[in-house]
Amino acid sequence: MSVQTFTPRAFHEQAREALGNPQIRANFRSAMDGLMAKRRDSFGDWDLETLRELGASIRLRALARLPDLLERLEANCEANGIRVHWAEDGEHACRLIRELCEARGARSVIKGKSMVTEEMHLNAHLEAAGIQALESDLGEYLVQLNEQTPSHIIMPAIHLNTDEIADVMHDKTGIERTRDVDAMTAAARAQLRERFMAADVGISGVNFAVAETGTLCLVENEGNGRMTTTVPPVHIAVTGLEKVVEHLRDVAPLYSLLTRSATGQHATTYLNMISGPRKAQEHDGPEEVHLVLVDNGRSGIYQDDELLDTLRCIRCGACMNHCPVYTRVGGHSYGTTYPGPIGSILSPHLMGLEDTKDLPTASSLCGACGEVCPVKIPIPDLLVRLRREAVGEGRGNVRGAGAKRSRAELVAWKGWQWLATHPGAWRGGTAIAGKLRALTPSRLGPWTEYRTAPKPAKTTLHTLLKQRRHEEKDA
Amino acid sequence: MSARERILKRLRERADGPLEAPESEFAVVTGRGWTPEERLARFEHWIASVHGEVVHVSRADWTVRLAEVLRDKGVRRLALGRAHPVAAEARAALADGEVELVDADRDIESWRREQFELVEAGVASSQGGVAETGSLWLWPTPDEPRLLSLVPPIHIAVLDAEAIEDTLFDVMEGQDWAAGMPTNALLISGPSKTADIEQTLAYGVHGPRELIVLLRHP
């Protein structure tokens, strides 16, 4: 398979291609149906609304106190022996991480799942510096072997089916071709165990960073996160600066919401809480632990009362699982690290609206994403806000605001507005349109690709009603 | 100005002004009020639902059952600590048996390959359990290090029934975790698993393939 590159600029083309691929559609359809059912079942006897209220309040409290909590997190981490680093953007974070690797003379890095390192293209950066970075989450490993990027933030290889994975494992790792999932999993286990033992540095993400105790929480099922953060002599945790929570007890409800919303699990296999490097008398764990706090556009989102809600996200993926658009076009069509509804409201800030102007329109505004969000992010409202920003009708505080502004569209809407507020002109206009209905164009751009063109009625509704009133009076 | 100062400055000088922090009401994650029987039943139900195996044992004869489990699973090399009473009792009971006992309280650098490739099971104490999610909680120690519950293909956890609490929130608050966290604290619910190949569940992808809980009753 050739290297595939996707870009948000080509969203429409990529979506069209994915829609025409029955394999991709079937893979996503069955996966998303299963995930929706599992989520529903897992919240069965819970007071979900109250739990969501609690989740939202915890995240909002953390954001309200964000600068103070980041300082507190830093102080407590440092007191625990975790070195804290601050990165302005992805490039800065990559440089910091590379320097930490180089300081240890690292040649080989093993990675636990981390979307923020995908966001900054860390693997490519390290490889350019001669440091090999290997993904250890099974899905990420498969995607990396297949020279692709993840298509879902929780299930990176969801776009591949068993046959395709059997090919990848056979072609890229040289094992005998098998469709047996246990056999493939065992093969990957053996391959990756060697790499864990050989790795100079382990790089992971963070689900929750606890300010009160200086604790980094990682949520996972496979154990690769625990391996990554325990086996190599150095652990570098990388996180967006919004992942901080105030208290340790805040983790309990967020963990419940995260696992149930993501995969319908009442708990994941592991909740791994790290509060420092190996102590003198301890026998395993890394000698050095680093935490890299990444801004990369987040402090920009933070400025605006409405956009701020984007930062509540705990990255469960429920919004994409429930999105009718995501389910049909798949994760790669978006061309961004974060696909689906959350990606459509987050990516414009990370990449600018010039590149991502089509993403906020990749939604029917059906509201499912907002309804399932465990921390009650009003995603549909934010999609609308970003649509306004994209055409230059918002506050103008999103990078690339106005990138989708079109003169013709603007003139058309202004004309409509004028007509609709001038009854005389409106009546005259619609009467003429009725007379000239034969001349109405049958092709109206994308609108008529899947629909017939609207045709003005011979007689307008106004006239029809007037006639009826006359008839009633006469009768 | 450093990146740190610039970022903090941007956050502090927020364009739309300071934010108000809402209160959080935690009642929904606590106060289950389960009886000891209900608590145990839930723990067992949920850990079994994620492929964990519960073996009920008594405090007096648990090591006999441990030996049976080891025999049933064909374990010949068992890693364990030395100082913790669980490890000490297990060592005493297994001393003359056929299972080779491997010391876990050693610097990992000196036996990494042995642990990764030869050890077939690890037995370790668990400080407590969570009924609502069928979880064990562990604070690894120098005697029972972090990798003991992760690297061997079988993780045998020894848990006292009365150490099970209702919810994770109850454990964190009741034990006052925030007062002093260890280097590593773990919540474990079942053996290692993945569904990354077309949603098909497979166990033991990186960590243990099996989790056996020896649930000790007085």
Number of Cβ within 10 Å of residue A467's Cβ equals 11
Q: Write out the two tokens for A341.
A: 């509804």
- Nearest residue of A to residue B25, measured between CA atoms: A54
Find the helix or strand (DSSP H, E) in which A15 lies.
helix A11-19
Q: What is the pLDDT of residues B47-58, one digit of tens each?
A: 999 999 999 999
Q: For residue A4, name the pLDDT band (cuts at 50, 70, 90).
A: low
Most A-contacting residue of B82, B135, B197 (CB-CB within 10 A), to test interface: B197
Q: Write out the two tokens for A94.
A: 């990559």
Amino acid B45: pLDDT: 97
Q: Write out the two tokens for A34.
A: 């299963």
Torsion sign across C-alpha atoms A163, A164, A165, A166: positive
Which residue from B26, B113, B202 is facing A54, i.e. has the nearest CB?
B26
Q: Write out the two tokens for A388.
A: 């306004």
- Residue range A154-169: average pLDDT? 94
Model confidence at A455: pLDDT above 90: no
Q: What is the pLDDT of residues A167-207, one digit of tens each?
A: 999 999 999 999 999 999 999 999 999 999 999 999 999 99
Put simply, whether A45 touches B (Cβ < 8 Å) is: no
- Do A386 and A399 meet the contact criterion of CB atoms below 8 Å apart? no
Put simply, whether B108 touches A (Cβ < 8 Å) is: yes
Put simply, whether A282 touches B (Cβ < 8 Å) is: yes
Q: What is the pLDDT of residues B107-142, one digit of tens each?
A: 999 999 999 999 999 999 999 999 999 999 999 999
Q: To the nearest whole angstrom, how far is the Cα of B167 from the nearest Cα of chain A? A: 9
Q: What is the pLDDT of residues A30-69, one digit of tens each?
A: 999 999 999 999 998 789 999 999 999 999 999 999 999 9
Question: Which residue reads 């609709």 in tokens?
Answer: A420
Closest CA to A108 of A144, A135, A133: A133
- Nearest residue of A to residue B4, measured between CA atoms: A86
Q: For residue A306, name the pLDDT band (cuts at 50, 70, 90).
A: very high
How many Å apart are CA B21 and CA B18, to the nearest integer?
10
| Vertex B99: Cα angle to B98 and B104 (nearest 5) | 150
Bridge-based pairing state of the strands B100-103 and B77-80? parallel
Q: Write out the two tokens for A378.
A: 């009003």
Q: Do B205 and A189 touch (CB under 8 A)?
A: yes
Amino acid A425: pLDDT: 94
How many Å apart are CA A165 and CA A159, to the nearest integer?
10
- Do B168 and A301 meet the contact criterion of CB atoms below 8 Å apart? no
How many Å apart are CA A381 and CA A95, to the nearest integer?
36
Residues in B touching A181 (Cβ below 8 Å): 197-198, 200, 202
Dihedral, CA atoms, A257, B39, B135, A216, nearest 10 degrees?
50
Q: To the nearest whole angstrom, how far is the Cα of B55 from the nearest Cα of chain A? A: 19
Q: Write out the two tokens for A142.
A: 């498969």
Buried b (16+ CB within 10 A) or exposed e, B89-119: ebbeebeeeebebbebbbebeebbeebbeeb
Helices (DSSP H) in B153-210: which residue ranges?
168-174
- Residue range A245-269: average pLDDT? 97
Amino acid A342: pLDDT: 98
Q: For residue A1, name the pLDDT band (cuts at 50, 70, 90).
A: very low
Side-chain half-sphere exposure of A376, counting CA atoms within 13 A: 13
Bridge-based pairing state of the strands A201-204 and A234-240? parallel
Amino acid A41: pLDDT: 93
Amino acid A474: pLDDT: 83
Residues in A touching B153 (Cβ below 8 Å): none
Amino acid B18: pLDDT: 96
Looking at the DSSP assignment, which residues form a beta bridge with residue A133?
A109
Q: To the nearest whole angstrom, how far is the Cα of A236 from the nearest Cα of chain B? A: 15
**A-to-B residue pairs, Cβ atoms closer than 8 angstroms:** 259
- Nearest residue of B to residue A28, measured between CA atoms: B198
- Residue range A142-158: average pLDDT? 94
Q: φ and ψ at B18, to 5 degrees?
A: -65, 155
Q: To the nearest whole angstrom, how far is the Cα of A281 from the nearest Cα of chain B? A: 6
Q: What is the pLDDT of residues A200-234, one digit of tens each?
A: 999 999 999 999 999 999 999 999 999 999 999 99
Bridge-based pairing state of the strands B77-80 and A270-274? unpaired
How many Å apart are CA A330 and CA A340, to the nearest integer?
8
In a 3-state reduction of DSSP, which class is residue B122? strand
* E strand map for A221-287: 234-240, 244-245, 270-274
Domain ranges in chain B are 36-217
How many Å apart are CA A377 and CA A312, to the nearest integer?
7
Q: What is the pLDDT of residues A356-370, one digit of tens each?
A: 999 999 999 999 999
Looking at the DSSP assignment, which residues form a beta bridge with residue A244?
A209
Question: Which residue reads 């459509």 in tokens?
Answer: A344
Which residue from A57, A224, A284 is facing B108, i.e. has the nearest CB?
A284
Q: Do B197 and A302 touch (CB under 8 A)?
A: no
Tell me the CATH number for domain A43-296: 3.40.50.10420
In CATH terms, the fold of domain B36-217 is Rossmann fold (3.40.50)
- Residue range B157-185: average pLDDT? 98
Question: Which residue reads 């705990």 in tokens?
Answer: A314
Put simply, whether B152 touches A (Cβ < 8 Å) is: no
- Residue range A261-267: average pLDDT? 96
Model confidence at A2: pLDDT above 70: no
Using only the alpha carbons of chain B, give its radius of gyration: 21
Q: Write out the two tokens for B120.
A: 């077939």
- Do B26 and A249 meet the contact criterion of CB atoms below 8 Å apart? yes
Put simply, whether A251 touches B (Cβ < 8 Å) is: yes
Which residue from A213, A214, A269 is facing B192, i.e. has the nearest CB?
A269
Domain ranges in chain A are 43-296, 409-474
How many Å apart are CA A342 and CA A301, to the nearest integer?
14
Amino acid A443: pLDDT: 86
How many Å apart are CA A246 and CA A66, to the nearest integer?
9
